[in-house]
Structure 1
């Protein structure tokens, strides 16, 4: 199973303190006891420049990263693995209303696999499994660690996201921390076609994008009690706005554990409103 223990990207006593907080089961159990009795605080962000890069990987290898009872979507021994990197747009509580524009807009990267069906106790909706979550902001990384179970967040030593009219580039530097490395460079292109490996799973480019980008929920493993956490999201991707990318470079720190069996398939979502609607242990 995938290890998501937090390690700070810089040495020294502050990093050791942050790691102790991020990995504290005592704090997490107390938080769960309190917040499970309160209404969920809906979070909202006007996300932009979402760079999706996906590989078809060996399904047997991917299944080994998941806990018991979680079943991957796969065809002919292949399953998609996706890294999406984006910039938040004033990420914070929806009830803040117009004041949310005063909140910062960190970079975030989600690394996920796709499920054949949701686990028992969860509604039957399109769902992904979060392997990793990386952010470039210490307050946001620690905040998601301390006050949520759905995002196993790691702090990057450095993180970039640059999108122009013709190109997209995103990267993650690990430092000495637990954030995995990433380096993706791609051209924005006009042709929306699938290569042979992807065409065996999806009939056309639009079907592949819809499958990879449109979900209603996510789950993650909670190591302290060996349970699953289920979170509902609202991510209304406008498929007509999605732009095709041709990956020039696609290096990912998890591909050693998930051997790719296809070329990377990439695309860009210019903007999408995002809401986190709920979170609960199964």
Structure 2
């Protein structure tokens, strides 16, 4: 199973203290004991400019990163691996209503694999497994580490995300920290066709995008107790609004562990209303 231990992107005493807090199992146990007795606080964000870059990777290598009880979706020894990077739109509790506009809009990048089915104890629905989660905001990265199990977040030393009418550019630099590297450069394309590898698995572009983007839940490992955490989300992607991208550069820090067996399939979701609906240990 992959290691999601947090390292701060800047070395020194302050970085070591922040890492100790982010990795504290004592705090996590106390938080779990308290929050398990409280209703889940629904989170809302008006997400925009979601850049998806997807590779078909070696399924056997990908399965080695999974904890026990988690089965990857795979066909013919191949499984999709996705990096999606986006800007939040005032990310915070849904109960704030219009006051949510006062909240910041950090950058975030989720790195995930796809499951054949949800693990035992979870309802059946399309589900992904979170490998990595990266943000550019220290309060948000620490907040997700301290108050949630579903997002094993790392702080980038530097993170950029720029989408124009013609192109998209996403980068993550880790500094001395545990965030993985990313360098994506793509341009918006008219052609919505698949190459032979993707077509063999999904048939056509729209069905591939529907599978990759329309997921209802996520699972992550909880190393402190050897369990899994399951979270439901609401992500109503409008497939008619999705734009094709052609990636001219697609460098990702996990591809050494997940050898690609296809060219990347990339696309852009201009905007989507995201809600985190629940989180519980299985």
Q: Which runs of 5+ in 2 are unaligned?
A: none
| Aligned 1:222-241 pairs, distance under 5 A | 222-241=222-241
Match for residue 257 of structure 2? 257
Task: Report the 3-state secondary structure (helix = DSSP H, G, I; strand = E; otherwise coil) of the residue aligned with 1:74.
Answer: coil
Match for residue 167 of structure 1? 167
Task: Report the 3-state secondary structure (helix = DSSP H, G, I; strand = E; otherwise coil) of the residue aligned with 2:277.
Answer: strand
Cα distance between partner residues in 2 of 1:209 and 1:215: 11
Aligned length: 282
Cα distance between partner residues in 2 of 1:212 and 1:15: 36
Match for residue 135 of structure 1? 135
TM-score between both structures, scaled by the size of structure 1? 1.00
Cα distance between partner residues in 1 of 2:128 and 2:262: 20
Match for residue 221 of structure 2? 221
Cα distance between partner residues in 2 of 1:53 and 1:255: 12
Match for residue 117 of structure 2? 117
| Aligned 1:1-282 pairs, distance under 5 A | 1-282=1-282
Task: Report the 3-state secondary structure (helix = DSSP H, G, I; strand = E; otherwise coil) of the residue aligned with 1:201.
Answer: helix
CA deviation after TM superposition for structure 1 residue 136, in Å? 0.1
CA deviation after TM superposition for structure 1 residue 122, in Å? 0.1
CA deviation after TM superposition for structure 1 residue 12, in Å? 1.2
Task: Report the 3-state secondary structure (helix = DSSP H, G, I; strand = E; otherwise coil) of the residue aligned with 1:188.
Answer: strand
CA deviation after TM superposition for structure 1 residue 150, in Å? 0.1
Task: Report the 3-state secondary structure (helix = DSSP H, G, I; strand = E; otherwise coil) of the residue aligned with 1:160.
Answer: strand
CA deviation after TM superposition for structure 1 residue 69, in Å? 0.8
Task: Report the 3-state secondary structure (helix = DSSP H, G, I; strand = E; otherwise coil) of the residue aligned with 2:21.
Answer: helix
Task: Report the 3-state secondary structure (helix = DSSP H, G, I; strand = E; otherwise coil) of the residue aligned with 2:101.
Answer: helix
Cα distance between partner residues in 2 of 1:2 and 1:83: 16
CA deviation after TM superposition for structure 1 residue 14, in Å? 1.1
CA deviation after TM superposition for structure 1 residue 13, in Å? 1.1
